[in-house]
Structure 1
């Protein structure tokens, strides 16, 4: 019998850096802080780390990219931590931090590394986030930028607008989920939106950025980092924390159509393909999941992924999330990026691990199977299923 993909690897340590809307400390300092916290969390030392993986996509759209300021890649971390025993390193261009996590899992399974440090650092540069100031629209941009799709938000608004029209939904159907999501971080001192509740009316009356996306549909740009450590299941038994075993993983979710404009149907086709492969490789079903962590760079990706991963039917995502949390799988119980800031999938991964370790801020009783997914099919997506037992 073929062994399900991923078995034999485990996530053993997690760590967040301090996170701030604006920070006087450089990104590199935040990345090193998160990495050291993840290593210490599982009882290892820096000298034990022999593998590195990250997703170093910069936040700054144009201009020179400085390692340690705009990004903090494998070279920066290896030099700063003095990793003399480093034997494997990888930077991925697709799938956010979960894509890097998948590569780390594969490296451990292949014997290329014993303990791999995985991180994603986000830098919030001064000025207006994501503004494009180029005078010339080159390559595919010539078909988008002159027509108002130069900034990220208008481009990402299109598939959501199509979805709402196609299934007869409106922004009001999202309000309950966004409000409840904010409740999860109101008492969490480490969340950017700690102490800042958001009612459904607040959400509906929010300033529009690009219809139908409002201010509160977008994760807030921050400077910060999240990190985890991946080891083999055998070595994980001797470490400080209960390991979160990898049952299955997929790094796929790529656009399958050559179009410079994001279209809902194209995203859905790719997302459903990722979901089918994930459950096949994990040997599990959506009904086996006790707690799920879904990408929320924009609010609508949560109902999208709930559908594509099979937690509910097509066009039912918003109704599913509007249910009382007791009547569905608990989703993004640490607030995700909408509650913690734009940390690009690290809230999803770290919450999935901590739920299995029994130490989440909002612990789900008896959580034995969790899921972490990040990214979208326009730029690459990835997912991993974790279990309390090997």
Structure 2
């Protein structure tokens, strides 16, 4: 166990402006804007930073090193985990082990100008199953959703309700790309065109441009800063794959995140009922049910009933995706996973731009098999 002085704390959280297209911006420039914003929020300078996990665009290999050099940081720890919960947990481990003291996590994407008539470029990587047979991301994720709905006799209206809740959260959020687009009903979701059965257009994430960043440091350093820190209480990460080459059957992906969630709650010493807000990666509507079942909030096959009747709305027992998520707030390739953490931090600070959950003290952030628990 690390000493209390070295426990990891998030002290800076920032999203740039999000838009369908950010004219005049590049992935590098919008990521730099996010970093500056997060450091300002933390009350720290570049000179304080000795750890980086930076992903401009999709430059997984060199992003941190390029930015470290450009920012003038002579030597620095480099994180390798994917943005969002996984990178937060990795950075927390590094800080608590004394490998580094202050870490910037950032990602951004702009200047892509995605063909709006097609799915996003990152959902159709060069692969024989995509180029020949069309197994792009929406089709891949639809397979397990359709199998689940058949297996447990789920009405499509129950799935569409989830998308309506998330999009309505975004409609109320002035920072969301789709602010003011709503309200939606389940019937509105089902009336949108089919993309990959059972997913209609409004069941799916959009594409957008923007950046997001976080700053983490030790509890000891955080005490000297003026902002309100958010503690990393526990986390876990697991994966499966390789994607696009093996069928994502329900048996393969349905419980993704279960063991990671068990580890996160055990580390935090919390019960499931202690969580006040759920910032879940909402790439497709059924995934919300999958999260709640995998994380043991309800039995397998009971998720559709569990989320019904206002349970996941603001004011319900399990409020989800409070900024509008990838369906309504933004979807920027990878930085949207950081946005899940940024929104959790804002909820715990009581500074959400909309849909503030009253007295939120514990937040769960989940992105596929990556889980982190945060506490005010």
TM bin (shorter chain): 0.7 to 0.9
Structure 2 Cα separation of the partners of residues 294 and 254 of structure 1? 19
> Are the counterparts in 2 of residues 5 and 248 from structure 1 also a CA contact under 8 Å?
no
> Are the counterparts in 2 of residues 53 and 103 from structure 1 also a CA contact under 8 Å?
no
Instruction: Specify which of 284, 292, 306 is matched with residue 320 of structure 1.
Output: 306
How far off is 1:73 after superposition? 1.5
What does residue 104 of structure 2 align with?
117
How far off is 1:328 after superposition? 2.1
What does residue 186 of structure 1 align with?
171
What does residue 64 of structure 1 align with?
none
5+ residue gaps, structure 2: none
Structure 1 Cα separation of the partners of residues 56 and 248 of structure 2? 23
Structure 2 Cα separation of the partners of residues 72 and 318 of structure 1? 42
Instruction: Specify which of 132, 142, 146 is matched with residue 132 of structure 2.
Output: 146
Question: Number of residue pairs matched?
Answer: 364
Structure 1 residue 386 corresponds to structure 2 residue 374: yes
Indicate the SS of the match to 1:185. Answer: helix
How far off is 1:159 after superposition? 0.6
Structure 1 residue 352 corresponds to structure 2 residue 344: yes
> Are the counterparts in 1 of residues 160 and 285 from structure 2 also a CA contact under 8 Å?
no
What does residue 35 of structure 2 align with?
35
How far off is 1:145 after superposition? 4.9
Matches for 1:237-276 after TM superposition, within 5 Å: 237-255=223-241, 260-276=246-262
Indicate the SS of the match to 1:162. Answer: helix
Indicate the SS of the match to 2:234. Answer: strand
Backbone CA RMSD of aligned residues: 2.9
> Are the counterparts in 2 of residues 27 and 71 from structure 1 also a CA contact under 8 Å?
no
Instruction: Specify which of 205, 208, 211 is matched with residue 225 of structure 1.
Output: 211
What does residue 301 of structure 1 align with?
287
CA-to-partner distance for each residue in 1:244-302, whole Å, 9 max, x for gaps? 11111112243499961111111123332222222222211211111111111122211
CA-to-partner distance for each residue in 1:165-196, whole Å, 9 max, x for gaps? 11111321122222222222223221111111
Indicate the SS of the match to 1:241. Answer: coil
Instruction: Specify which of 173, 179, 195 is matched with residue 158 of structure 2.
Output: 173
Structure 1 residue 76 corresponds to structure 2 residue 66: yes
CA-to-partner distance for each residue in 1:109-143, whole Å, 9 max, x for gaps? 111211100022234443234469x9xx99xx446
How far off is 1:240 after superposition? 2.2
How far off is 1:34 after superposition? 0.8
> Are the counterparts in 2 of residues 71 and 122 from structure 1 also a CA contact under 8 Å?
no
5+ residue gaps, structure 1: 59-66
Q: TM-score, normalization: structure 2? A: 0.88
How far off is 1:357 after superposition? 1.2
